[in-house]
């Protein structure tokens, strides 16, 4: 798959997820085989007003490259200004425009998936942003607003015409949020209609899920979201499946070791107080399915120091190695 001057062997991307795909998460997923990662979404308006915390979300380096920075908003000029600023300051490999987020506080401002109800405004945003940057521009959309307005094909065609170099389709409507299962046919229809690369997104928890999506829809690649929770190895698993190679799942010791590393990176990046609190959800995902995981989660949520958390992880490792 090629997007302007970017080439990808398999098209296995890490999706943008607020509060999840920070720098530490992206480092681990790239190491395990993610060919591109996307940052947490950044508010174009916050960037316009010089919010430093928002800019912090955009950072990346050789360990998280290639990287796409995702922005959201509804004002074309401010969106273009933010994209241009991010390109100049960080030199991302791609800029992504969020037109798929279904969260109430985003759509209530006419942003995220609310833009799928206003294709004229959405098209103007893409035109304006595209003309303001040199990097490829992608757009992440949903199947539509609700069951009665599945307009992904029409909408994606307009985004392509406006200057989008890639489209990612989450196979659910805004109203469906994250349940029930995704509609693979809508992803297939978008792929059939467009000339630019199309990525499929939604319900990819195993290599089999990814392979099925690729084969059924004919999409150019997949974007993994919740399937990477506590499982950055999913990218290696998908890569092995596409190459016809054997994949060996990580042992408990490997999972604990990466959990510790993830904790360490979060603390180094954000300080012990914040790092520990942001690590809690990640550690719960790493421990899922292990013996005494429920007790460990409670203990971790009450821990205030890195040493305490590491001690709990060591305890879990010992208990599971006895099995």
**Residue of 29, 67, 101, 219 marked catalytic:** 101
Q: What's CA 290's distance to the chain center, in Å?
A: 26
Distances, alpha carbon 124 to alpha carbons 70, 121, 147, 153, 294, in Å: 17, 5, 25, 18, 49
Query: What is the CB neighbour count within 10 angstroms for residue 226?
Result: 15
Asked about 101 being catalytic, the answer comes back as: yes
Query: Which of left, alpha, beta for 100 (phi over 0: left; psi -120 to 50: alpha)?
Result: alpha
Comparing CA positions, the residue from 143, 129, 136, 112 lying closest to residue 2 is 136
Task: Measure the N-to-C terminal CA separation of the chain; round to a whole number of Å.
Answer: 44
Q: What are phi and psi of 56, to 5 degrees?
A: -60, -30
The token pair that represents 29 in the structure block: 């997923």
Tell how strand 221-224 and strand 12-14 pair up: parallel
For residue 97, what are the β-bridge partners?
A: 71, 139
Positions marked active-site: 101
């Amino acid at each position: 798959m090629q997007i302007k001057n970017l080439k990808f062997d398999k098209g296995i991307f890490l999706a943008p997820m607020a509060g999840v795909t920070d720098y530490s998460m992206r480092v681990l997923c790239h190491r395990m085989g993610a060919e591109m990662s996307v940052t947490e979404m950044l508010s174009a308006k916050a960037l316009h007003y010089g919010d430093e915390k928002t800019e912090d979300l955009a950072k990346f380096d050789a360990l998280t490259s290639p990287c796409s920075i995702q922005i959201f908003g509804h004002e074309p000029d401010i969106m273009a200004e933010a994209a241009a600023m991010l390109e100049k300051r960080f030199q991302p490999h791609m800029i992504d425009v969020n037109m798929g987020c279904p969260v109430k506080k985003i759509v209530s401002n006419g942003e995220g998936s609310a833009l799928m109800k206003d294709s004229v405004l959405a098209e103007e945003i893409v035109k304006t942003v595209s003309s303001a940057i040199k990097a490829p521009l992608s757009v992440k959309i949903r199947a539509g607003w609700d069951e009665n307005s599945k307009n992904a094909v029409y909408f994606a065609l307009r985004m392509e015409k406006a200057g989008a170099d890639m489209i990612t389709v989450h196979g659910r409507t805004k109203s469906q949020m994250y349940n029930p299962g995704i509609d693979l046919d809508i992803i297939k229809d978008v792929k059939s209609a467009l000339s630019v690369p199309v990525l499929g997104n939604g319900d990819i928890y195993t290599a089999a899920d990814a392979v099925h999506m690729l084969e059924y829809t004919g999409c150019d690649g997949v974007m993994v979201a919740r399937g990477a929770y506590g499982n950055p190895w999913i990218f290696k698993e998908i890569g092995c499946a596409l190459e016809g190679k054997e994949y060996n799942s990580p042992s408990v010791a490997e999972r604990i070791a990466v959990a510790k590393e993830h904790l360490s990176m979060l603390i180094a990046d954000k300080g012990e107080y914040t790092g520990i609190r942001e690590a809690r959800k990640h550690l719960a995902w790493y421990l899922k399915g292990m013996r005494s995981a429920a007790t460990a989660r409670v203990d971790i949520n009450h821990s205030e120091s890195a040493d305490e958390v590491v001690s709990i992880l060591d305890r879990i490792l010992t208990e599971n190695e006895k099995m």
